[in-house]
Amino acid sequence: MSQQTLIEVGQKFPLTIKRLGINGEGIGYFKRNVVFVKGALPGEEVTAQVELVKPTFAEAKILKIRKSSPHRQQAPCPIYEACGGCQLQHMTYAQQLVEKRDMVVQSLERYVRDLAPSIEVRETIGMDNPWQYRNKSQFQVRKDGNKVHAGLFSEGTHELLNIDECIVQHPDTTRVTNEVKRILEMLQIPIHDGKTQNGLVRTIVVRTGLRTGEIQLVLVTTRAEMPKRQLIIDKLAEIDPAIVSIVQNVNPKQTSLIFGDRTIVLHGKKTLHEKLGELSFDLSARAFFQLNPSQTVRLYNEIKSAAALTGNETVVDAYCGVGTIGLWLADQAKEVRGMDVIGDSIYDAKKNAEKHGFTHATYETGTAEEWLAKWSTEGFVPDVLTVDPPRTGLADSLLQMIINVRPKRFVYTSCNPSTLAKDLSQLRKVYDIEYIQPVDMFPQTAQIESVTLLVRK
């Protein structure tokens, strides 16, 4: 019997929540059909009402919580439910760490069922203070009457939610954004209209250096010309002496991407200086950098621990970006090689290696599979391979290349348990999965990172 005959939109029924889904929703089963319930927690008994029916699952909302989880709490953020930026504020932090580990286990049970019970999944490494950790905010700007608002779009809508305080953002980013709103309002600067596409200012981006205290402010605009240009610059510079870089980025396209191709320095320097452990980085407005630097140190130390370097090993850092992971390992490696498809990142990686005196680190532009194949034909196979791919996981071509080249140790950093488990189902042919260490990089959200150590059979 198909699900449609069992469940209909509008139907109400009692449901026991068994687990937490990958997007932070509760999962229950009604007549053997999967039902996702936003806001429900494992162990709860709810009355649910169906809102959407698909061939393999249904989505429902809570009408009533009949038995509440002991881990349920009042979300501290007043706009938590409207915003959708966080998914787990209604769960105690200690339990978030438990459930995030379970998300990794669930993915293993789905893709490598026979191996799952024997894989060591360690307890999630959490944060001492799981609030105010994000070092960068990107708030869209809109006008409501004469008021300038900045924030995020309410989940599933085109309605901008004005955010005066976000409790997962570093306070500096919030404070500076609020001052920019006030200045744009006072000077009556034209604000971008999402419907008509008229106006100038689209987005306010603020990044703060947690270790250095430096602040970078970016105004994303629809065109380069700006009315009252010098007055805007002067007013923005007065917000805080810690603002060392004020930049304008021009994005004329109708797109969901924040940044355009052109960047103009308005005041101060082009980059923000930040430190990570013993390393330091200069970050331009568009450069990727981890959003939670203090927890990144813990993540990178787990990668270093898994790599188990003695000073004699060659390391390849695939998807290397600006070189952070490879450089973190460089002091204990004989040689580091990295590659990335983004030329600007490779330029930064080379500069970063040079700045820290790592003459044994080299970087190339291109895909990981291209360079691993080329090096392999030259007789170079790394002792340790480390990857930190996007949410989509490893490209099939790279998976096959790794299986062919077979580095001795393989350290896989993942931001998506599903694609990690899917990739492990291939890698198990030539590797033993030693352990998986989950690390909570984004408290209050459903996201979970992990470091997996694989050793060649």
Place of tokens 């393999």: 56
415 is known as an active-site residue: yes
β-bridge pairing 361-365 and 272-276 = unpaired
Q: How far is CA 218 from CA 215, 287, 368, in A?
A: 10, 12, 32
Cα distance between residue 338 and residue 316, in whole Å: 6
Q: Which of 77, 166, 320, 415 is catalytic?
A: 415
Integer Rg of the chain from CA = 24
Backbone φ and ψ for 306, nearest 5 degrees, come out as: -70, -35
Point out the residues that are catalytic: 415
